[in-house]
Amino acid sequence: MNRREFLQLFPFIFLPPRSEELLGKRRPKLDKFGFRPKAGEAFRDMQADARKDGIHIYPVSTYRDFWHQLRIWNKKYRKYGDVQKVIEYTAIPGTSRHHWGTEVDLIDPRIKLRDPLSSQYFESGPFSELYLWLKKNAKKYGFYEVYDKRPERKGFKWEPWHWSFSEESVPCLKQFLYLDLKIHLKDPEILGSENFDQEFLTKYKQDYILGINPKLMP
């Protein structure tokens, strides 16, 4: 058996580095905030200009690797015991956009809340001023709200804190769509993975992975 035949039989063993990065199993080059360099530069420009307008922006979450996402996922699955409940807000490990170094969850660091990533705080609560500024200005720096509030959008619930640097995330998504999720998500470490049959994965891809702001589509 030659190498090519071997890889065709066992494609999950040898992943090209780019695929490993997309799955969160290989860390890309990141800055101190957890961004890819170009995304980080754009974020710092946005953060500085927001400050001039009296808006304070803090990246509470950026890059997360597969194992970090796995801990989040398994904790929630143990709590709910229901995949559909977990995927209201949480991506399956290996499919999180936070694996790419292009995503950021934003808050105002001056406001201390026990669980700041709640839509009620952004809609009319203490982060509403921050959210309005982002809605108006973030696109100037290449950032777009990922899981927006369009009523026709399916998949993850509205996340007004989650923004994506489109210049780099769109190519990441385009390449990610070539991956065979049935191979990569059949992982016994992922609690509930026995539910990931082809019907589920097809719907998950269409509604959750692609249920995003049109500005972020390939």
Which pLDDT score is estimated for 210?
99
Which pLDDT score is estimated for 9?
53
Helix/strand/coil for 144: strand
What pLDDT, in 10s, does the model give residues 178-189? 999 999 998 999
Retrieve residue 171's tokens.
């190519």
Averaged pLDDT score across all residues of the chain = 93
In whole angstroms, how large is the CA radius of gyration of the chain? 18
What pLDDT, in 10s, does the model give residues 140-164? 999 999 999 999 999 999 999 999 9
Which pLDDT score is estimated for 18?
86
User: Structure pTM?
Assistant: 0.90
pLDDT score of 14 more than 70: no
* % of the chain exceeding 70 in pLDDT: 92
- Residue 217 has phi, psi (to 5 degrees) of -85, 145
pLDDT score of 119 more than 90: yes
Which residues pair with residue 143 across a beta bridge? 165
Which pLDDT score is estimated for 48?
98
* % of the chain exceeding 90 in pLDDT: 91
What pLDDT, in 10s, does the model give residues 15-65? 445 899 999 999 999 999 999 999 999 999 999 999 999 999 999 999 999
- Domains of the chain in start order, with CATH, are 16-213 (3.30.1380.10)
